[in-house]
A and B are shown apart, each in its own frame.
Chain A
């Protein structure tokens, strides 16, 4: 199976078997989406909550508000349907000691989490599992067709976050 590294600001969409790797997420968020019926999957590595109105967008996948709609559209083009999409998100950490002076703006991780959830909700998608916030970096892997999403952290090692192919397995059983 081919492994696709999903670098900062990148969007990767595939039909059929694939393995995605989002390496070293700090305040960034990895969003993994799977439509098991169409066997179309995708992942994005979001860096900031929103594009700037007065700046050109150099990479559409950089911002939650431009990247998530673009990811969904690319998946739909390959035959996926929003109604069958399962979503998992991970990342959005912040620095350990955040002298809280009411400047939430400095907490990029938390704002990324809020923006990603807002975009997914706006698109009518439910989030099956999320591992966001905290103060530790994460590496996320997502494999298709088994649908497994795993999160690796330095202190906890590897753990399964969820399985985005679950429903299909259940209905087939």
Chain B
């Protein structure tokens, strides 16, 4: 088996791979900078009227309890904070890609969205409980952690059964099976996509290392939060696919985040509620 084509060749040859809109990318970097201002974010958003109107509707959704009170973009940024608005823009941008079915992973329509959004909310809650990193950064990285699957999907389509067999026969995790069959896994591919899109480093790292945060030369708390978020979203069955629970949990992530094993149940309790409330009020707007 081994390498059939390189990661870059795979990405190049994957038809209908999404492209991140320029405005969303600018907003992500702007929100991460020290000089970010509400009016700058609002100005950027205004360049993409379709995106801007969805962000405004999200800001006015039941989830924030401000229904109908947020009239302008600048107001939305001031009231909700620019990092919150950044994530609303990303939810609006990524929903269409993430809600497509991925047969190579046994994912029905909306499954990957449910899993990615669940991971984002869980990573955000883990970050809040930890207090050692920005929660909005954890949400962003959580939302995009499995983008590698968008490219891997087509290439796995006729191999899914074999991968499941490989996993159960050898006791391998799903990423180990991907590496054996294709030469690399969806983390490596996702990391490369994120790099080519010029996404922030924490997003690149989380896509690349979310199944093995201990493997990163120097640990990253965002990756750790995404790893835990992915674990919780998977365990709770949010959008479960063929890879199901076939992954490893690295408990060192908890230690680095300063979390206790007892925190897991509390994060899960909050996750169930926050994910449900967000999905209920966001989905009809971004769909």
C-alpha spacing A49/B273, complex, angstroms: 16
Residues of A within 8 A of B242 (CB): 154
Is B248 close to A, CB under 8 A? yes
Question: In the complex, what's the smallest C-beta–C-beta distance from A56 to chain B, in angstroms?
Answer: 11
Residues of B within 8 A of A98 (CB): 248-249
Question: In the complex, what's the smallest C-beta–C-beta distance from B235 to chain A, in angstroms?
Answer: 4
Closest to A103 in B: B261
Is B173 close to A, CB under 8 A? yes
Question: In the complex, what's the smallest C-beta–C-beta distance from B162 to chain A, in angstroms?
Answer: 12
Q: Is the CB of B237 within 8 A of A24?
A: yes
Which range contains the number of B residues in contact with the other chain? 20 to 34
Closest to A97 in B: B248
Residues of B within 8 A of A49 (CB): 265
Interface string of A54-66 (1 = CB under 8 A from B): 0100110010000
C-alpha spacing A50/B261, complex, angstroms: 15
Q: Is the CB of A48 within 8 A of B268?
A: yes
Contact A95 to B247, CB < 8 A, known contacts A105-B262, A155-B164: yes
C-alpha spacing A154/B168, complex, angstroms: 12
Residues of A within 8 A of B173 (CB): 96-97
Q: Is the CB of B269 within 8 A of A137?
A: no
Given contacts A9-B272, A26-B240, 12 further A-B contacts (CB under 8 A): A27-B236, A48-B269, A93-B245, A95-B249, A96-B246, A96-B247, A101-B251, A106-B264, A108-B264, A108-B268, A109-B235, A154-B106
Q: Which residues of B contact A (CB under 8 A)?
A: 106, 164, 167-168, 171, 173-174, 231, 234-237, 239-240, 242, 244-251, 254, 261-262, 264-266, 268-269, 272-273
Task: List 26 interface pairs A-B (beta carbons < 8 Å), by A numbering.
Answer: A8-B272, A26-B234, A26-B235, A26-B240, A28-B236, A28-B237, A58-B273, A62-B269, A94-B245, A95-B245, A95-B249, A96-B245, A96-B247, A97-B171, A97-B173, A97-B248, A99-B249, A99-B251, A101-B251, A105-B264, A106-B249, A108-B235, A108-B265, A108-B268, A137-B240, A155-B168
